[in-house]
Amino acid sequence: MDLGQLERALGVFATLDPIEFPLHRAQLFLEVAKAGQRGCTYGDLEDALNLTNGSVSRGVASLGEVNRHGTTGYRLVETIKDPSQPRRYRVRLTTRGRALLRQLETL
């Protein structure tokens, strides 16, 4: 990816909320996208991005249906119970998240 592509990709994220969309949320989104339909765990995200569990939890909530303040999130990811370990959750892209990913892939 060249710098122009990176600038356009960050511009796509900025359209979601130009003031309140921190870079680590974009990184979370991209890590979830890389995991594919199976999704990834919070632990996977913590390890990949060197974030705390709290940062991942807040970021996933913000990218999900409802953020930690109880207001509407970006609806780009969803959490589902891990079928192999019911006490663990996996994060994957929603339909809206996959549409955003396709937009990024065309840059």
CATH code, domain with 10:
1.10.10.10
SS3 14: helix
Find the domain containing 43 and state its range.
3-105
Structural domain tally of the chain? Answer: 1
User: Phi and psi for 19 in degrees, rounded to 5?
Assistant: -105, -35
CA distance 95 to 42: 20
pTM for the whole thing?
Answer: 0.91
User: Phi and psi for 106 in degrees, rounded to 5?
Assistant: -90, -5
In order along its 107 residues, the chain shows pLDDT tens digits of 788 888 899 999 999 988 888 888 999 999 999 999 999 999 999 999 999 999 999 999 999 999 889 999 999 999 999 988 989 999 999 999 999 999 999 98
Sequence-ordered strand ranges (E) for the chain? 40-41, 77-82, 85-93
CA distance 93 to 36: 8
